[in-house]
Amino acid sequence: MAPNAFATGRDPEHASIALTTGLIDKLDKNELEGVIAHEMSHIGNYDIRLMTMVVVLVGLISLLADFFLRWTWFGGGRKSDNNSDNGGQLQGILMIIGLVLVILSPIIATMIQLAVSRKREYLADATGALLTRYPEGLASALEKISADKEPLEVANKATAHLYIASPLKTDTDEQKGGWANLFETHPPIQDRIKKLRAMI
């Protein structure tokens, strides 16, 4: 089974951490401590609650953009008088703005959501390393997790941000960079390992 772990729960009193059997079998004690400390840090930092709020706000932005488009499409803000040449132009401009918002707002909101997710991964790495006082344990665990090419079958895009490393592995994961990273839930593993080893 693929080595991975995740944490969930709205606060420390209502939280759970899960480790795959592949992770337990393939990591040593120090590496497991690093992974568990990372997941505990997500709980202690209220990351699951934060990401839930971010997801709700992303949905709200999409709904507002759709509402604005429908409002302009069905005559929102029209005046009842007949000399509406300027009103027709304004309606056209508002329609174009609505279309742009409907197209771009979900993309931008999703990019913000993914950026927050990546930053929280760095924070959980740092907090977990401080908790164990041994950053090398988590760095070594991340190396082993990234070297394993088996995808986690039960994972999907909606839950990918919950895991310690992206469970949706492909052959080109190592080759991604630049713009491709903007659409990832996790920062590149090599960057995370470098930052952890800089703490030693």
The structure tokens listed for 133 are: 């006082």
Nearest Cα neighbor of 34 from 133, 123, 120 is 133
- Residue 37: CB atoms within 10 Å: 22
Which residue in 39, 121, 150, 153 is the catalytic one?
39
What average pLDDT does the segment 45-68 reach? 86
Q: What is the DSSP letter of 163?
A: B
What average pLDDT does the segment 18-41 reach? 96
What average pLDDT does the segment 177-199 reach? 86
Number of helices and strands in the chain (H, E): 6, 2
pLDDT value at 79 more than 80: no
Compute the distance between CA of residue 127 and CA of residue 32 in angstroms, rounded to an integer. 15
Whether residue 39 lies in the annotated active site = yes
Better pLDDT: 31 or 77 = 31
Compute the distance between CA of residue 104 and CA of residue 27 in angstroms, rounded to an integer. 43
- Say if pTM beats, i.e. exceeds, 0.95: no
Convert the pLDDT of each residue in 157-187 to its tens digit.
778 878 999 887 654 445 555 666 778 889 9
> Which domain does 129 fall in, by range?
5-198
Q: Specify the number of domains making up the chain.
A: 1
Better pLDDT: 72 or 31 = 31
Convert the pLDDT of each residue in 49-59 to its tens digit.
998 898 898 88
Rounded (10°) angle between helices 189-198 and 85-132: 50
The structure tokens listed for 96 are: 């174009």
- Residue 146: CB atoms within 10 Å: 19
